[in-house]
Structure 1
Amino acid sequence: MFAAKLPFDVTRVPFYYGWAILLLAVLAMFSSLPGQTAGIAAFTQPLCAVTGLSDLQLSIAYLLGTATSGLVLPSAGRLVDRLGARRAYCMTTACLALTLFTLVKVLQQLKPAAEFATPVFMVTMACGFLAVRFFGQGLLPIIANTLVGKWFDRRRARAAALLGVVNGLAFSYAPKAMSDLVDLYDWDGGWLRLALVLGLGVTAIAWLFCRDTPEACGLSVDGEQGSTTTAQTAVVDRPATEAVRSLEFLVIALMLCAHGTVLTGYTFHLQSNGPE
């Protein structure tokens, strides 16, 4: 089912197929929006109304879900390596769609007890946020970057830059797009429509067009002729245990952590802070 030449042979495409893979990486980043803070922010006030939770209680549930997701993501990255990006792509979008659908149905069933079941809603939202963050904010970006890394070597910087530009534009517009979706269909209708698009549309596109590596398809990295082996870039390899203790890693990790923490907190409360 996931053979490299199914449903078609990419070697017959009249251009380097890595550029199609780059578009699929862009699609993966777009598909991650339901699990990104920029995509969840528009749902915070409707969720508070449905669950009876305060902004603080909902943000605590979000913190617990996000932190737990972050703890298990390293293992998920190794799972992507074992399964292959194509299989992981299909499974992740399907699981994210199922998570959104299940969360809507559970909250609809619990809604009549909103005034009396604050602990239940806290646990439910923490588990729901764990799942949407794991599949959306975590796995899909990992898959997108894995695809770019496997299909590009000399042109990797250009491909990553294009992915980053589109990613930035998408995330900038996401709060407005999600807010319009909530205005049109309410929070539950919005999530159900996103689940439908992800579960049927994106999953099908991933299966049809995604491929794990150029070598598996009989192509060479970057589309260079005369070799089907991976192009080698001069790098200094370090064991993971040594790398995580290096000053370079700690500086970059702390910088990204500080940036992500502040941006996530501000974006999550975008609706409640908006009127102010």
Structure 2
Amino acid sequence: MPDDSTQPLATPTTGVASSRIPFDPARWPFFYGWFIVVLGTIGILMSIPGQTMGVSAFTDSLIDALGLTRVQLSTAYMFGTIASSFVLTPVGRLSDRVGSRVMAFWGAVVLGLVLVWLSQCDRIAIFLRGTEGGKPVGWVAFAVILVGFFFVRLSGQGVLTLINRNMMMKWFSRYRGLVNAMSGLFVSFGFSFAPRILKGGMADYGWRGTWLLIAA
């Protein structure tokens, strides 16, 4: 894909809608690829709830709500992450067919829905099997949080990160390394600052409210 303002349009890939839809990037007063870099970087930052630093902020709250040990919760997270990684290759193929715009939209929708699931995970476990000593039944709680971890890792750390990074790289050739470094700088700062923001949200709205607020 060209990376100079004199030839800003990408050549449409076979089977993918033209880049002129829903508008023509050539009509912009500057190279449209730079706008894509901004959007792609924001998109990657929006994956924070599915990244390890985004999930770990809720660890103690989940342990208390679900009645699981730290090892059990970590095991569920590990299995959810590994399982989601096997789905990324088909997701990449699907992205090549339908385009980044569609995949990013549905990735964000799924992430929002799974955050709602996670915010109610203990209540879902109790609804499915009841309680033991005031806590959800252990194996049910493990299964419920495993499902949540699978989808939050797939949609956040997986789909949104993959799609937005690929979207940026498709618009550049000669400056691809520079663009990746520029985006990575802001992403690294955002990721490192995220736990502080999440902890602040939990102090004000609780762990459920914080996840619901992000989902909205």
TM over 0.5: yes
- Does residue 63 in structure 1 map to residue 83 in structure 2? no
What is the root-mean-square deviation of aligned Cα atoms in Å?
1.7
* CA distance, structure 2, for counterparts of residue 162 and residue 15 of structure 1: 18
* CA distance, structure 2, for counterparts of residue 21 and residue 80 of structure 1: 17
1:38-53 matched pairs, under 5 angstroms: 38-53=53-68
Q: After TM superposition, give the deviation of residue 190 of structure 1 in Å.
A: 0.6
Deviation string for 1:137-186 (max 9, x for gaps)?
A: 11111112211221000111111011111111111111111111111111
CA contact (8 A) 1:64 1:126 kept: yes
Aligned twin of 1:131: 151
1:102 to 117, 121, 126: 117
Aligned twin of 1:14: 29
CA contact (8 A) 1:97 1:195 kept: yes
Structure 1 portions without partners, runs of 5+? 197-276
Identity of aligned residues (%): 36
Q: Which amino acid aligns with 2:64?
A: A
CA contact (8 A) 1:42 1:182 kept: no
Aligned twin of 1:92: 107
* CA distance, structure 2, for counterparts of residue 169 and residue 33 of structure 1: 12
Per the normalisation by structure 2, the TM-score is: 0.84
* CA distance, structure 1, for counterparts of residue 89 and residue 30 of structure 2: 34
* CA distance, structure 2, for counterparts of residue 5 and residue 180 of structure 1: 42
Per the normalisation by structure 1, the TM-score is: 0.67
Q: After TM superposition, give the deviation of residue 4 of structure 1 in Å.
A: 4.5
| Secondary structure of the structure 1 residue equivalent to 2:174 | coil
Q: After TM superposition, give the deviation of residue 100 of structure 1 in Å.
A: 1.0
Aligned twin of 1:252: none
CA contact (8 A) 1:33 1:136 kept: yes
* CA distance, structure 2, for counterparts of residue 116 and residue 39 of structure 1: 24
Deviation string for 1:113-150 (max 9, x for gaps)?
A: 25350000101111100000000011111112211221
Q: After TM superposition, give the deviation of residue 3 of structure 1 in Å.
A: 6.9
- Does residue 144 in structure 1 map to residue 159 in structure 2? no
